[in-house]
Amino acid sequence: MPAFDERLALLKQEIVAQGRRVLDLCTRAVDCYFDGDLEKARGVVAGDEAIDQADVGIERASVPLLAMGQTDEHAIRSVLTIVKVNNELERIADDGVVIAERVLEPNRFTERVPDVFRVMANSVLGVLRDATRSLEREDPALARQVLLFDDTVAQFKAQILRETESEVVAGTASVGFAFRLLAVTKALERIADHATNICEQVIYLERGLIVRHRPEGWSEPEAPEAHAKH
């Protein structure tokens, strides 16, 4: 079905472009938090509109493909994956906006952001970058590597919570600063969670394996099934 193949190829290009837009937005969101850059933060918030528009466009373009009578399982999974990944990307962008909005709050704080937070932020951006690359390349091996990093993000968050609580108790950090830092930390954790969801979809696309509900997890994925890509 050439018409299906052509439309699916265009849709894949759109979801890859959306992934790049979302990665750029989140990178700028983290930068503006570190720098306290109000102008950059406003740009992040404004940039979410283009992502929302693309989100709607991708969803609308996906639905007709499912009604074209395609019978190839990989082709059908491709459309389903795009629909699900599209939703994850939109939610990631929303979390990027949450970070930028914290910068735009009227209160200004002089406390120094802890080093572990910087490590976490850079790590989460790396997770998002690799998730979008695994999608673009349809690479389940790279997707699996991202999934293996998931526990590390949770450990970063736990360490930040402990250190921030200690600093508030010691009087070296204000409650307002702590609340803002923890809000941004939670947004970063959600970005990582959505990125791992994307990687689960890449594995589903390429291997037909639904890993999110398997008791053994994804550490030993099944061998790729044979399929012909169109």
Summarize pLDDT for 153-166 with one digit per residue, the tens.
999 999 999 999 99
Residues 193-202 have a mean pLDDT of 94
Residues 25-36 have a mean pLDDT of 95
Residues 100-110 have a mean pLDDT of 90
pLDDT at 143 over 60: yes
Pick the CATH number of 2-207 from 1.20.58.220, 3.40.980.10, 3.40.1260.10, 3.30.70.100: 1.20.58.220
Q: What is the pLDDT of residue 206?
A: 77
pLDDT at 180 over 70: yes
Q: How confident is the model at residue 146 (pLDDT cuts 50, 70, 90)?
A: very high
The DSSP secondary structure of the chain, one letter per residue, reads -HHHHHHHHHHHHHHHHHHHHHHHHHHHHHHHHHHT-HHHHHHHHHHHHHHHHHHHHHHHHHHHHHTS----HHHHHHHHHHHHHHHHHHHHHHHHHHHHHHHTSS----PPPPHHHHHHHHHHHHHHHHHHHHHHHT-HHHHHHHHHTHHHHHHHHHHHHHHHHHHHHHTSS-HHHHHHHHHHHHHHHHHHHHHHHHHHHHHHHHH----TT-TTTTSSPPPPPP----
Residues 43-56 have a mean pLDDT of 97
Q: What is the pLDDT of residue 216?
A: 47
Domain residue spans of the chain? 2-207
Instruction: Give every CB contact of residue 131 below 8 A, 6+ residues apart in sequence.
Output: 19, 143, 146, 195, 196, 198, 199, 202
* Distances from the Cα of 213 to the Cα of 127, 204, 209, angstroms: 21, 12, 10
Q: 51: buried, middle or exposed (CB in 10 Å: 19+, 13-18, 0-12)?
A: buried
Summarize pLDDT for 1-11 with one digit per residue, the tens.
578 889 999 99
pLDDT at 171 over 80: yes
pLDDT at 133 over 50: yes
pTM of the model as a whole: 0.87
pLDDT at 218 over 90: no
